[in-house]
Every structure is written in C-alpha cells, then in structure tokens.
Structure 1
Amino acid sequence: MNPSKPVSPGRPGDPAGGARPSIGESIRALSTAQKAKAGAPLYSRLVNRPLGRVLAAVAHRLGATPDQVTVLSAACTMTGIILIAALPLTVWAALVTAGLLVLGYALDSADGQLARLRHGGSKAGEWLDHVADAIKLSSLHLAIAISLFRFADVVGSRPALLLLPLAYSAVQNIHFFTYILTYQLRYNGGTPLARDEGRAGILKSILSAPTDYGLLCIVLALRWAPVPFLVLYALMLLGSAGYLALALPKWYRDMRAL
C-alpha cells in the first residue's frame, strides 16, 4: 500500500469530509488514479489491479481501512500457504489454496487503492503492507517444498527436485526487495500514476510474465498433477532468474543516473 496522490475529493461523511461514494463512483475514480503500468506483468495489469479496484471500492463503501484490508489479504495468503504444506495433492486442495492466494493478491492491490480513495496512505500502512509481502515471499516456496517432500511421489525418486522451490524462494525474494528499493529511491516513496505506454508497455508486461506472482498462483492450481506442475514451475523459475539477471544491471544504471 504505497502512499500516493489521492483521487477526487469525497462527499459529505467520508474520511475527507463526506458521505462515502457508491461502489461505482469509487471504481470510476480509481480508474483515473492507477499506478503506472510500465513493466507490470500481464496478469497483474489485466486481472489483479482491476479486481483490486472493485474490492477497494467495496471496502470503502463498508468503511474499512487500508490496514484492515492488508490484514485480510495476509490472512487469506497465509491460510493458503499453510494449507499448501498441510493438505495432500488433490484437485480440490490445489484449487482452494490457489484461490486463497489469488484472493490475497487481489486484496494486496486493494489496500493501496483504498488508501487513494481515502486521500492517501500512511507510513505505518506501507510498513505493514511490505512486512506482509516479506512473510509471504519468505514462506510460499518453503511450503511448496514441504508439500512436494510429503506428497509428491516423483520427488521421492528425484530428491534434487526439492532444489527448485529453494532456488525460486531466493530469486523471488531478491527480485522483490531489490525492486522495492529501486522503486522507493526512484520515486522518493511516491507512486507514479498511469500513462499511455502503447505497445512498449504491453511488450514489457508480456516479457515480465515469468515474474508475475498472480500467474504463479494460477500455476499452483496444478499441484495435484506434480509432473506438469513442476515443468511449469521450473519454466517460471528460469524466466524469473533470467529477468532478474537482466534487471539488476539496469536498475543499478538507473540509480547511477539519479
């Protein structure tokens, strides 16, 4: 939840001095106050942010705070992660855990958008949001490793496959925290709003698909079939590692240019 430019003023009774707007009014207001899309992976850009916009509008209508949405997001995500480690590899278990992660990710987008509806977030809220992300990224792939060790027969004959989630955990944590640091230094803690990026923006979104946490949530729905899941999981790991290898030198050059 990044503190950023607020959307249009509220009506009598909302946190800025007016009655809370309708869900439709909030969605329309947020559509003009989205974060910049440059490089945002395709699922996050086309699915997660619009879904988060709707959830933010509903939360605003209900009078929820951004911190409450962050806590709900973390609760959904951590429940999903715990169940990944605890439940056998069945179709329903894979779908339920993936659904919880998808909902948690959408709420993770909603808290920042709700902050904009309420005319800006707070440092404490941003801290809470990043701590929740840190816990999520530090535990998700470890839960996958536990699940594979406990329930996947293919890992019993090929224990080296357990290195995949361990490597993925390292790559995703390095990528996330380096990106957050770069983002904060580049924009001084602010959030640039959306602009028309044309084909270049879409191309970046497609190329960054392997880094997309939302896409990973969808892939996790296939855990009930360990072999196809591990193939897709390994491909996403390779894509994420390749993207990170290209991004780190660029981000360093960007910092040198500031």
Structure 2
Amino acid sequence: MATDLDGTLLDSTGSVSPRTRRALRLARAAGAEIVFVTARAPRGVEPIAEAAGVSGTAVCSNGAIVYDLAAREIVTRHDLHPEAAAHVIDVLAEALPGVAFAVETGTVVLAEPGYDVHHHDPRSRREVRSVRETAEPFVKLLAWSGRHSVDDMAAAAAEAVAGRAEVTHSGVGGLLEISAPGVTKAGTLAGFCAQRGVEPAEVAAFGDMPNDLAVLAFAGAGYAMANAHHLVLAAVERRTLSNDDHGVAVVLERLYGP
C-alpha cells in the first residue's frame, strides 16, 4: 500500500487520526507493506511514521530519496545536477517574473531572500544569498511566486524546462518542486516494487495532488481523495472520502477488515 501524506493520510491539522492508525495496523496485520510516497523530506516524515506506527520505507522528496524509517538513513538519493538547476533557474526567472528560489538538500532548505514559504520545521531553513552558490548536493529546486497561480506556473515551467528536469507541485500556493530528469514518485515506487517482486496490480495507492497522478496510474487500485486537486479528480476513476473523513482508512477497512 502506497500513500501520500499531506491532504491524504493526514487530516487538515496534519495529524494521523485514531481511525487511520487502526486501519494501518489492520493492513499490516494482514501482511500489507505500507510505503509513504511524499514530497516531504525525511525529517518531515519521521514524526508521522512514529505517530502512525509505520517503520518500513518511505519515498521522499517526490521520489528523489528512498529512506529507511527504522534505521533513519537514506538508502538512495537522486540529486539535481547544478548545471541543470542553473538552466532551470534562468528559464523560470524569465518565464515567471518575481520568482524566488530555494533548494532542498535532504536535510535542510537553503532559501534565497523573497522565498516566502513556511516549511514543516522552521529550524531546517537556512538563508542564502543565492542558491547558485550552494555547494551542497540537493534533491529539489523549489521555485515560489506570490504573483502567479501554481497551475499557471507549472504549465509555464514545463514548457520552459523542456525535459531538463521534472516539474510538479503538491498544492502549496505558488510553489513548484523541480527534480532531476526522470525522478518522480511513481518511478521510484515502481523500482521499489520491482525489487520486491510486487506487481503494480497488487498495489493500492492514495493521493490528492498532481505529483500523485503517476502513482495512482501505476497502482492497480489508485484512489483519489474527495478533496483532491481538480486534475486528479478528472483523471482518476476510483475515489474515496476526504482526508478529514478518513478516506484512506475507509478503503483499508474494506480491503483488510473481517
């Protein structure tokens, strides 16, 4: 079972409800392996895994990191090459005037002036003059603007980047998330499943945002949350209730209940 976190497994307060915890226990007792597939970095996943009682593997940073929750270590990571990132910065700055940038290293966010996004743990943010000067490897380039809708930004960025990177978003206003070419939630999940001999038909998946679309298409049973982005609702036939109505738990109870 593969699930997104924000807007999907978590309710609107960012919590795992008691009903969802019980449903996850039910699934594990039936032999299901639970994999978090999220835009969050590992530091943002660990407290949720603890609250949910999940200790397996997490696909983090939109597929750029595979993280062992029990060992608390990165198993694999796919960095965005600095030259590719510099090109993306140039084309996005031209296509989206006023955009500001940050990078996710896997452990911290390095943010330029004007990057007005509040991440889950403010202690993980460091200010830098320019992300171009970042010496650390990074897994995501983040582009934010208060002047444009995120859907318009995504459309402009996809055209401007032209295959040099993966561009998506997870619902945060005005924020694009940019990864190395070919790095997606679905691609990393598919590799994880192939290593374990798990067929796509055996996978149930849950999501709510455009960065979940390929995961829901990969899974034999992909469920869109009732609160999902309009592009997800238009593309995914299977539905469950909203995150605040325990939509993931409802399906797990049906699949694994007595």
TM-score by length of structure 2 reads 0.27
Structure having the larger proportion of residues in strand: 2
The structure with the larger Rg is 1
Structure having the larger proportion of residues in helix: 1
Whose RCO is larger (CA < 8 A, sep 6+)?
1
